[in-house]
Amino acid sequence: MSQSTFPSDSVIQRVARESVLIIGGAATLVLQVAHPVVAKGVAQFSDFQSKPFRRLFRTLNTVYSIVFGTAEESEAIGRKMVSLHRDIAGPGYSGLDPEAQLWVLGTLMKSSIDLYEWSVEPLSEQEKDAYFTQMLEFGGFFGLSTPTQPHDWASFLTYYEGMISSDRLASEPVCREVTQAIVRPKRPLLLACIAPFTRAWVTEPIPATLHPALGLRSTRWTRGCWWLTKRCLKLARYLPKPLRWVPHYRKLRRKLRRSPDDTSPAGPSPQ
């Protein structure tokens, strides 16, 4: 079996394999499009009005394919991603804009660690530093150059809070437009029907300072739904591990069981 991109004992695999992280997907997507460069690219190069969550599903599949795939698979996906993002360009935006790319990666990191620590277990600062470094390597598959800042988890948090408090996010009407397509989808019918419930998963994790500009509103309903969701997430750690893990990770484990002599860093039996 070919060598995996990331070892099985890596923090990035340990975090990404947990299915509960998907709960944070919608809020992460909204935070991403709060950046005007990202919002313009989504508005011009996607069918966000009719299929607002398609980008989220594509992103999740790409993330899992790289994190749990072989080096060859990841490199092939990376070439495709860089090519696709190179074609996303227009007045005031580019799919390879380094500031926007770092922000997109940062939202994935912050959401994943927050939900992992809430629902599974806390991580040490050393583990978070390792996760940060591995996520920067992951970002390289999308054409992201390694930034000089932030350089570790602590400096990343400083960067992240600085972005949240800056006037850069939600600074243009297109950010609100794309956000509302996610929060109040008209199609497909199923998403439209469950939107009152999923709205809590979008609104409550988003910093309140961004709510007015994005057209979000925290209500007793959204706060109650999010409170209940977080209580339920606490129970995830008690589920059998195969039920907790995403399909891509279960597939990796099956591959490794069929390759008992594999000596790659992925190891023969991830835990």
Residues near 203 by beta carbon (within 8 Å), at least 6 away in sequence:
27, 183, 211, 216, 217, 218, 222, 226
Structure tokens at 167: 């006037």
> How is the chain split into domains, by residue range?
11-252
CA-based torsion, 95, 173, 181, 90: positive or negative:
negative
Q: Tell me, what amino acid is at 114?
A: D
| pLDDT, one tens digit for every residue, the chain (271 residues) | 567 789 988 999 999 999 999 999 889 999 999 999 999 998 888 776 666 667 678 888 899 999 998 889 899 999 999 998 898 888 888 989 999 999 999 999 999 999 999 999 999 999 999 999 999 999 999 999 888 899 999 999 999 999 999 999 999 999 999 999 888 877 667 777 777 778 899 999 999 999 999 999 999 999 999 999 999 999 988 999 888 999 889 888 787 777 654 434 333 334 4
Q: What is the pLDDT of residue 269?
A: 38
Q: What is the pLDDT of residue 38?
A: 94
